Structure 1
Amino acid sequence: MAAVQGYGALLGEIKERIRSAQYEALRAVNRELIALYWDIGHLIVTRQQGESWGKAVVQNLARDLKEEFPRITGFSSSNLWRMKLFYETYRDSEKLAPMVREIGWSHNLAILEKCKDDLEREFYLRMTRKYGWTKNVLIHQIENQTYEKTLLSQTNFSETLPESLQHQAKLAVRDEYVFDFLELDDKHSERELEHALIGKIDTFLRQMGGMFAYVGSQYRLEVGDQEFFIDLLLYHRRLRCLVALDLKIGRFQPEHVGKMQFYLAVLNDQVRLEDENPSIGIVLCKSKDKMIVEYALKDSDKPIGVATYRMVSTLPQELKGQLPAPEQIAQFLENVE
């Protein structure tokens, strides 16, 4: 029996080592491919400047490369133009140039084509590397303005969480969520919203950021001789903490914070495990006044974020004008490892 168990452990270790080697091999191949595309972009830029070549050189290169390497894709004229733009965009950035080698070419193209400035590009480069976003998830995050909504999120995490957790917690809560996958009319109830989210739980958790796991709905707490129920209870894998969601179909009210503080106190005392971090609360409402939220969170001693939701994907573009100063954004991004 011991021999069988020993063999099982050996097999498990070898499998894990093979998977690790495969992953590292894929990363190495990707780095080489991005480096190749970078060098091609560099060569095209340099020769066009030095030789005064026009646009025809790219078409000629695409034709001749296809003839020389008929089985290799990726050298079309349109992709060669992208390589040129890729190099031109990042060549003067000592910070971003190494990052682009850590994600795939299709991811790089999405960021290159859809982001407006280096700070936004840095955010999505870091987040793609951190969370392993697929191309489609990355595009969805960009189109739903995750960058803006993360920077504008309203929480009291800086005052209520240990420094080691503050940054990751801020990344976990956005200012607004778009639930365009739900089939609800404008007059839905809180219970209908809850049931709809549970019915699309996988999509909902991805929309929340991909690091959440579902624990339960109408999660029962017993205090004294009374029962209380949390609308949705999640678990954040990186933060290693419980996350309580209180769903509100109307406008945010200050008393919502008091209710959430109560939930978090009970969770920490009765539910949280010894090795888990303090529980976090998210009040998810239909609308909010940012000044009222600021005052409501000011003296709270429990980590709480207040966010809004909507079910249409058309987005207000004025969010750009509300972002913090560039130096504040840069400082924030430095902590996204």
Structure 2
Amino acid sequence: MDSLLSSIRHIILQSRQSAVRSVNHALTLMYWHIGQAIVEDEQQGHQRAVYGKALIKTLSETLVAEYGENFSGRNLQLSRQLYLTFPNVNALSSHLSWTHYKALMRLGGTDQRTFYGAETEKNGWTVRQLERQINSQLYERLLLSQDKESVLAIARSESKPTEPHQLIKDPLVLEFLGLKPQASYYEYDLENAIITHIQEFLLELGNGFSFVARQKRIYIEGDEFKVDLVFYNRLLQCFVLLELKLDKITHQDLGQLQMYVNYYDRSVRESYENPTIGILLCADKNDAVVRYTLPENNTQLFASKYQLHLPTEQQFIDEILRELPDQRKDST
């Protein structure tokens, strides 16, 4: 009886979700076709700037009177923009709503729209989650660690991530924790905030992460140690150990994390799993110290800064410029 009830509930839920998707997609297609009709009419020899503005106003007044506020001048302008931005109607995803597309149309670049659209469809992001990822400049943060083609290919599921750097972000943006940047707090407070907002934190970590444990005890020859947070990534098929530091990290911090990673590799992971990854999440770091502490061929340990507010565009310009010397050095 319980099993049957569970199955029926699952069927009902799936059917309702499918119905909502169908309605949302039909709405998007309606606006796209309205936009197409407006643009094609504009192109019939009229002076576009003057005629288009007057046309939208006249159309809106009539349509609002007949069908309601969904056909306001603003929505008719957005319909026109939807058609111009996505000229191929078959490219419109049934998994994205009209509100999703309104958010995507605000983006200036085709690659950005492609990335966020593909990630939204693949991960089932709500509009609020999509907006948050755009505001946290997820696309730009991933570009700091890899090339544009790789980022887009993974987003479209044309290829799977095979290296840790393809998933790990630097910095991590944790504004959802609600901690004030200038306030006094301890590592325990940061850890508690992460656990409280674990769903948002997993979204920020990226694709394929699942939470395993906090303050995980490990015993080495009678000595007890605790790993702050343990995750597993199903795409890379490996454990991910995360240590929290409120200050600038030192080489001793990296050494401690290396010990935890070595322990997991030798005592926990199975033969079919890939090497363990360690991430030191810190308030500040000296990239030179990190580089000289870790082996040149390091692929397991990473130091990522966290920030407690959404980044500005200038912050990312500065971050990219800061990374350029290292990128040029690596390519020589």
* TM value normalised by structure 1: 0.75
Correspondence for 2:41: 47
Correspondence for 1:331: none
Correspondence for 2:258: 261
Deviation per residue, 1:274-333 (Å, 9 max, x gap): 7765432211112234455455555455533321012233525252583999xxxxxxxx
Match of 2:10 among 13, 16, 27: 16
Deviation per residue, 1:85-116 (Å, 9 max, x gap): 1211222xx6x971555311111111211x22
- Helix, strand or coil: the match of 1:81? helix
Deviation at 1:179, TM superposition (A): 2.8
Identity of aligned residues (%): 32
Note the 1:13-92 alignment, pairs <5 A: 13-52=7-46, 53-70=51-68, 73-91=69-87
Q: 2 CA distance for matches of 1:31 and 1:251?
A: 48
8 Å Cα contact 2:167-2:207 kept in structure 1: no
Correspondence for 1:127: 119
8 Å Cα contact 1:190-1:249 kept in structure 2: yes
Q: Are residues 1:179 and 2:174 paired?
A: yes
Correspondence for 2:244: 247
Note the 1:124-273 alignment, pairs <5 A: 124-153=116-145, 164-166=160-162, 169-170=164-165, 172-180=167-175, 181-183=178-180, 185=182, 188-209=185-206, 212-236=209-233, 239=236, 241-272=238-269
Tell me: CA distance 1:150–1:296, structure 2 relative to 1, closer, same or farther (3 Å). Answer: farther
Higher relative contact order (CA 8 A, sep 6+): 1
Deviation per residue, 1:219-248 (Å, 9 max, x gap): 111122222211222344655543211112
Q: 2 CA distance for matches of 1:174 and 1:280?
A: 13
Tell me: CA distance 1:45–1:184, structure 2 relative to 1, closer, same or farther (3 Å). Answer: closer
Deviation at 1:209, TM superposition (A): 4.2
Tell me: CA distance 1:100–1:21, structure 2 relative to 1, closer, same or farther (3 Å). Answer: closer
Query: Which amino acid in the other structure matches residue 112 of structure 2?
Result: E
User: Please, which runs of 5 or more residues in structure 2 have no aligned partner?
Assistant: 151-158, 325-332
Match of 2:277 among 280, 285, 291: 280
Tell me: CA distance 1:187–1:9, structure 2 relative to 1, closer, same or farther (3 Å). Answer: closer
Query: Which amino acid in the other structure matches residue 138 of structure 2?
Result: T
Deviation at 1:44, TM superposition (A): 0.7
User: Please, which runs of 5 or more residues in structure 1 have no aligned partner?
Assistant: 1-6, 326-337
Q: 2 CA distance for matches of 1:187 and 1:9?
A: 50
Query: Which amino acid in the other structure matches residue 119 of structure 1?
Result: D
The CA RMSD over aligned residues, in Å, is 3.4
- Helix, strand or coil: the match of 1:222? strand
Query: Which amino acid in the other structure matches residue 98 of structure 1?
Result: A
Query: Which amino acid in the other structure matches residue 77 of structure 1?
Result: G
Query: Which amino acid in the other structure matches residue 111 of structure 1?
Result: L
Q: 2 CA distance for matches of 1:280 and 1:58?
A: 55
Q: Are residues 1:317 and 2:309 paired?
A: no
Deviation per residue, 1:53-102 (Å, 9 max, x gap): 331211222222233334xx5211101101111211222xx6x9715553
Q: 2 CA distance for matches of 1:202 and 1:291?
A: 33
8 Å Cα contact 1:240-1:277 kept in structure 2: yes
Query: Which amino acid in the other structure matches residue 46 of structure 1?
Result: E
Deviation at 1:117, TM superposition (A): 0.8
Residues 249-258 or 29-38, more deviating? 249-258
Q: 1 CA distance for matches of 2:205 and 2:316?
A: 19
Correspondence for 2:300: 303
Tell me: CA distance 1:20–1:249, structure 2 relative to 1, closer, same or farther (3 Å). Answer: same
Query: Which amino acid in the other structure matches residue 242 of structure 2?
Result: L
Query: Which amino acid in the other structure matches residue 138 of structure 1?
Result: L
State how many pairs are aligned: 305
Deviation per residue, 1:12-37 (Å, 9 max, x gap): 44443343333333333333222221
8 Å Cα contact 1:182-1:197 kept in structure 2: no
